[in-house]
Structure 1
Amino acid sequence: MKQLFFTLFLGLFTCTLSAQQDLFNENPIVSPQINADNSVTFQIKAPTAETVSVSGSLDVEKAFAPITYEMTKSDDGVWSFTTPVLPSELYRYHFVIDGARSTDPGNAFAIRDVGNLSSIFIIGGGQADIYKVLNVPHGTVALRWYDSPGNDMVRRMVVYTPASYENSTGKYPVLYLLHGVGGDETAWTGSGRAVEILDNLIAQGKTKPMIVVMTNGNVSQEAAPGNGSDGFVKPTFMLPHTMDGKFEETFIDVMKFVEDNYRTIETKEGRAIAGLSMGGFHTANISMYYPNTFNYVGLFSSALGVRPDGGNTTSPVYQNQDEKLKQQMENGYKLYWMAIGVDDMPMLIKGNADFRKKMDDMGMKYEYLETEGGHTWNNWRNYLSIFAQKLFK
């Protein structure tokens, strides 16, 4: 009887394990392995593969094309590669196995950027320490749905409130932080590490406690792919109403919700706006369209001068921009901050240079930072960490 019971128990346990799917199926491969000298070893078991490589932002000096390393196969079917020593940074990478892209099955941490998933890791000891979750007071991140009459839909935004917000009654300044083309309201909390950056800077006393609002700049969407009523749609790089003025025209819906639902300083002294790439384009135009609304403006690798519609839109946002920019200057502001990498796209470098010349010609003051690298999250995370320290002082 005991033997029968034991046999039934084993059978039940085996079935239970099977029913638990991946719960007990731990991958025995350790990858990535960050070595003592900050080189990194990648491993993946693919015994029948003919070629395996690792590709990604594995060289912070690379502007666009991810660097690719061929991996070496051992007798047990495990492919491996060890990088050169890497500087402190957040890195993203993927494997290519006989031509097929794959995340690292030994690494549970991945980020989506438009339609691609990449595995990630952080090397500390420098700039990337600010991207880590450290032992400091943490803010709250909320997914908020708001009514957007201008777009005839309910839409989603991400709102960060600092650690002190919930236990206080005071009003806080607001930074509206905008993503680039193909991104959505989750871009800055994922690839951008905005929450970690703000938590750490506030804890270090390097920036003022602030609310950060991260919107979806694609006004044809309710929310990030997979989070709206359209279900698990394939993420798309270009969507209807991309950079045609609709986002800027309806941005007042975002601001109204925030100021109706949070304790904010409802003057331009308590408002900042910044964005990367397309979000920088949106930032420049929103701050001109509402010229006495923001005291702080930040353009990160801004897509100035880029117009997907060829400049044929009739949106009032893009009409009489020289006059609007002059009015913004005359109304006054505390900081207009611009940054771009020297290896960025030539059309963006030219667009930024042309915009700065226009500002120079009318005597409009700004701060300009030129860095190494190109159109990358490495730069944008760094720009946010610099810009945030200049706000609301």
Structure 2
Amino acid sequence: MKQYALLVLLTGLLSTTSQGQQALTREPPLVSPEIHDNHSVTFRLKAPTATTATMSGNWMRSEGFARPSATMQKGADGIWSYTTDVLSPEFYTYSFTVDGLRAIDPNNAHVIRDVANVSNALLIDGEFANLYKVNDVPHGSVSRRWYNSPGNTKRRRITIYTPSGYEMGKETYPVLYLMHGIGGDEEAWMGLGRASQILDNLIAQGKAKPMIVVMTNGNVSQDAAPGEGSDGYTKPSFMLPQTMDGKFEETFGDILTFVDNNYRTRKTKAGRAIAGLSMGGYHTAYISQNYPNTFDYMGLFSPALNNKPEDHPQSLAYQKLDLKLKKQMDNGYKLYWVAVGRDDVPILLAGIGDFRKKMDTIGMTYEFKETDGGHTWPNWRKYLTEFAQKIF
């Protein structure tokens, strides 16, 4: 009984001490970001000893891959702040730079990785950006699966979305194979791409057919995204070996085999679509040529067709491409869709122009969409949203 009383006393003392310490150090919470009713946003950062502070956000108009920044103002309380103009509905990312050092917002717990950069995220809802929200609709499931890739002599990781009701049913589903850009991996479309939210919402609205979405890792030198594979917590790299040398195209059949053997898929050309952004658009073009009777729907989002496959003549995937393209056309398909922002980098736009001329020369039909903006996730999310409504 004495031991119990002593334990109660000690617990009470520790609790009182802890609460006292919290009270002594507690400060009013710093709100950042603060989204105002008119959709302008104020960002705040407490850095009383800093001499300079700027911020960069993906709503700022960029030139090519360079992103501009805005100067933050320092208050007498040591809090730096910046308020944007009115922002359109969108999923945004941003970061700070304090005395030359890039930093995330310590008051915003929502962070996201893009290659090796970590940024904060915020969502201004409304209009099409409502598709990026988790709404009160039936939700699909997302799993990370490991498949055997004999062509790469390793097991590799992919991300797979199955629509609501898949686990409880018996019906078969069409499959969209969705690929990332350079520096990305099997996590990219789930994070910055908001793929599962887009599919959940479109399917719930009856604007897209229920489908399986397979998000691949196009870096065949990896078995998985950094921190998720056997290499451990390696630093993400913008350019990895064997990303655009034909090896991913040559071994794509390993993914097709795994998906068809482990999921209730429609194993026909009409039941398969393939799409990707930037490097993934490049992969889409050449995978669909090397598997010419496999996909009825192709989506190239800002495709990096400025990269020349003829620079890798050793790859079987890049041999006789003109004949493969003609065969793909002759086999028939339902949609070949190319989309790009008019403000994208000139060398990439030139590569797309050259590829379109080749298609025009042989009479290959395709849809071409040019939008505002450049080589950015806001465009690629919109492209996925539109493409998903056109397939199956």
The alignment status of 1:358 with 2:350, answered yes or no, reads no
AA of the residue aligned to 1:82: T
Matching residue of 2:22: none
Once residues 54 and 11 of structure 2 are traced to their aligned partners in structure 1, the CA distance between those partners, rounded to angstroms, is 44
Once residues 346 and 14 of structure 1 are traced to their aligned partners in structure 2, the CA distance between those partners, rounded to angstroms, is 65
Once residues 268 and 5 of structure 1 are traced to their aligned partners in structure 2, the CA distance between those partners, rounded to angstroms, is 70
AA of the residue aligned to 1:339: A
Residues 1:187 and 1:269: Cα distance change in structure 2 (over 3 Å): same
Matching residue of 2:384: 384
Once residues 26 and 362 of structure 1 are traced to their aligned partners in structure 2, the CA distance between those partners, rounded to angstroms, is 69
Q: CA deviation at 1:5?
A: 7.4
Once residues 230 and 61 of structure 1 are traced to their aligned partners in structure 2, the CA distance between those partners, rounded to angstroms, is 34
Matching residue of 1:259: 260
Deviations 1:205-250 (A, max 9, x none): 0000000000100001010000011110111111111200000000
Matching residue of 2:346: 346
Matching residue of 1:375: 375
Matching residue of 1:272: 273
Identity of paired residues, percent? 60
AA of the residue aligned to 1:99: G
Once residues 28 and 210 of structure 2 are traced to their aligned partners in structure 1, the CA distance between those partners, rounded to angstroms, is 41
Matching residue of 1:234: 235
Matching residue of 1:196: 197
Once residues 182 and 196 of structure 2 are traced to their aligned partners in structure 1, the CA distance between those partners, rounded to angstroms, is 21
| Equivalent residue in structure 2 for 1:9, among 8, 11, 20 | 11
Q: CA deviation at 1:62?
A: 6.6
AA of the residue aligned to 2:384: L
AA of the residue aligned to 2:190: T
AA of the residue aligned to 1:306: N
Q: CA deviation at 1:16?
A: 7.9
The DSSP-based 3-state class of the residue aligned with 2:147 is strand
Matching residue of 1:32: 33
Q: CA deviation at 1:312?
A: 3.6
The DSSP-based 3-state class of the residue aligned with 2:311 is coil
Q: CA deviation at 1:67?
A: 3.1
AA of the residue aligned to 2:341: G
Once residues 67 and 127 of structure 1 are traced to their aligned partners in structure 2, the CA distance between those partners, rounded to angstroms, is 25
Matching residue of 1:326: 326
TM-score, normalised by the number of residues in structure 2: 0.94
Q: CA deviation at 1:75?
A: 1.4
Number of paired residues? Answer: 385
Once residues 324 and 114 of structure 1 are traced to their aligned partners in structure 2, the CA distance between those partners, rounded to angstroms, is 33
Once residues 14 and 220 of structure 1 are traced to their aligned partners in structure 2, the CA distance between those partners, rounded to angstroms, is 55
- Tell me, yes or no, if the aligned pair for 1:58 and 1:91 is still in contact at 8 Å: yes
Matching residue of 1:336: 336
AA of the residue aligned to 1:236: S
Residues 1:83 and 1:62: Cα distance change in structure 2 (over 3 Å): farther
TM-score, normalised by the number of residues in structure 1: 0.93
Deviations 1:231-270 (A, max 9, x none): 1011111111120000000000001000000000001000
Q: Give the alignment's Cα RMSD to 1 decimal.
A: 2.3
- Tell me, yes or no, if the aligned pair for 1:63 and 1:373 is still in contact at 8 Å: no
- Tell me, yes or no, if the aligned pair for 2:43 and 2:82 is still in contact at 8 Å: yes
- Tell me, yes or no, if the aligned pair for 1:27 and 1:105 is still in contact at 8 Å: no
Matching residue of 1:108: 109
Once residues 50 and 310 of structure 1 are traced to their aligned partners in structure 2, the CA distance between those partners, rounded to angstroms, is 51
- Tell me, yes or no, if the aligned pair for 1:62 and 1:373 is still in contact at 8 Å: no
Residues 1:386 and 1:49: Cα distance change in structure 2 (over 3 Å): same
Matching residue of 2:209: 208
Residues 1:60 and 1:200: Cα distance change in structure 2 (over 3 Å): farther
Matching residue of 2:153: 152
AA of the residue aligned to 1:28: P
Once residues 63 and 91 of structure 2 are traced to their aligned partners in structure 1, the CA distance between those partners, rounded to angstroms, is 14
Once residues 270 and 312 of structure 2 are traced to their aligned partners in structure 1, the CA distance between those partners, rounded to angstroms, is 35
Q: CA deviation at 1:362?
A: 0.8
Residue segments in structure 2 that go unaligned for 5+ positions in a row:
20-24
Q: CA deviation at 1:66?
A: 2.2
Q: CA deviation at 1:12?
A: 3.6
Q: CA deviation at 1:127?
A: 2.0
Residues 1:62 and 1:13: Cα distance change in structure 2 (over 3 Å): farther
- Tell me, yes or no, if the aligned pair for 1:113 and 1:187 is still in contact at 8 Å: yes
Once residues 138 and 383 of structure 2 are traced to their aligned partners in structure 1, the CA distance between those partners, rounded to angstroms, is 23
- Tell me, yes or no, if the aligned pair for 1:160 and 1:213 is still in contact at 8 Å: yes
Once residues 197 and 273 of structure 1 are traced to their aligned partners in structure 2, the CA distance between those partners, rounded to angstroms, is 17
Once residues 27 and 119 of structure 1 are traced to their aligned partners in structure 2, the CA distance between those partners, rounded to angstroms, is 22
Once residues 55 and 211 of structure 1 are traced to their aligned partners in structure 2, the CA distance between those partners, rounded to angstroms, is 36
Residue segments in structure 1 that go unaligned for 5+ positions in a row:
18-23
